[in-house]
Structure formats: structure tokens, C-alpha cells
Amino acid sequence: MGMLAFFPLWAVNACFWFGLACGPKKISGPRVRKLVDGAAVALSICSAMAILIGLNCEALISLPFLDQACRTAELQQLLSWTGS
């Protein structure tokens, strides 16, 4: 379910990073343009993953379909405490 949240986050981050890369691409050659495009792709994917990792169960912003995963994790933790 987390992958469903990845694509919108990645799309927003891709727009942001490619927007920042637009300036340097205008004044650079073809090899540097490929490097800047690759860096923008890598940064957009990494920042989307960092946001998803940061959205844990105690976060102020929670994703609706991850609530079930949080409840399951809490139940498993409770059962492990009572079983030991």
C-alpha cells in the first residue's frame, strides 16, 4: 500500500527537482544536461522515499490506508509483550 503513496509523492518531487534543474540545463552542454537530468531523477526518488519513511504511525500527517498497518503493528507488539 505504501507504493500507492509513492507515485504521487514522486510526481510532486520530480516537478520540484526538474524545475530547479531547468536553469542549469539552459546554459550547459548535452553531457551536462544528461548529468543534471540524472541527478534530478535520483533526488526526486530519494526525497519521495525519505518522505514515506518519515510518515510513521506517530506522524502528524497519516495516510489513510496505512492506519491498518499501524494497528496491526501495535497489536503484534502488544501480543509480544504479553507473551514474554
pLDDT tens digit string along 29-82? 999 999 999 999 999 998 888 877 776 666 666 666 566 666 666 566 666 766
Using CA atoms, how far residue 48 sits from 66, 73, 78, in Å, is: 16, 23, 31
Residue boundaries of the structural domains of the chain? 2-83
pLDDT tens digit string along 2-14? 667 778 888 889 9
| Predicted TM-score (pTM) of this structure | 0.63
pLDDT above 60 for 18: yes
Q: Judge contact between 66 and 1, C-beta under 8 A.
A: yes
Looking at residue 41, its pLDDT comes to 93
